């Protein structure tokens, strides 16, 4: 019984730790043809809402 509890607690801890890791993505590039100070919105498709945004400096 003790081994089962230990294994269960370890699995719960492992799942918790893996789900709390931050998922990051860095995108860099140059955008031409827009005015300085304009906002750029990132989305997976034109129909989806923006996932992130950045200001063109």
- From the list 48, 2, 4, 52, the residue with the least C-alpha distance to 25 is 52
The C-alpha angle 9, 17, 48, rounded to 5 degrees, equals: 130
In the prediction, which pLDDT does 20 show? 58
The pTM is what?
Answer: 0.44
pLDDT one-digit tens code per residue, 4-56: 888 878 887 777 766 655 667 777 777 788 888 889 888 888 888 888 888 88
Dihedral of the alpha carbons of 16, 50, 40, 22, in degrees to the nearest 10: 0
In the prediction, which pLDDT does 1 show? 55
- From the list 22, 50, 55, 2, the residue with the least C-alpha distance to 10 is 2
Alpha-helical (H) ranges within 1-57 are 2-19
């Amino acid at each position: 019984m003790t081994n089962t509890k230990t294994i269960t607690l370890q699995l719960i801890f492992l799942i918790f730790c893996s789900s709390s890791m931050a998922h990051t993505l860095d995108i860099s590039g140059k955008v031409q043809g827009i005015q300085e100070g304009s906002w750029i919105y990132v989305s997976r498709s034109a129909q989806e809402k923006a996932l992130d945004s950045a200001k063109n400096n």
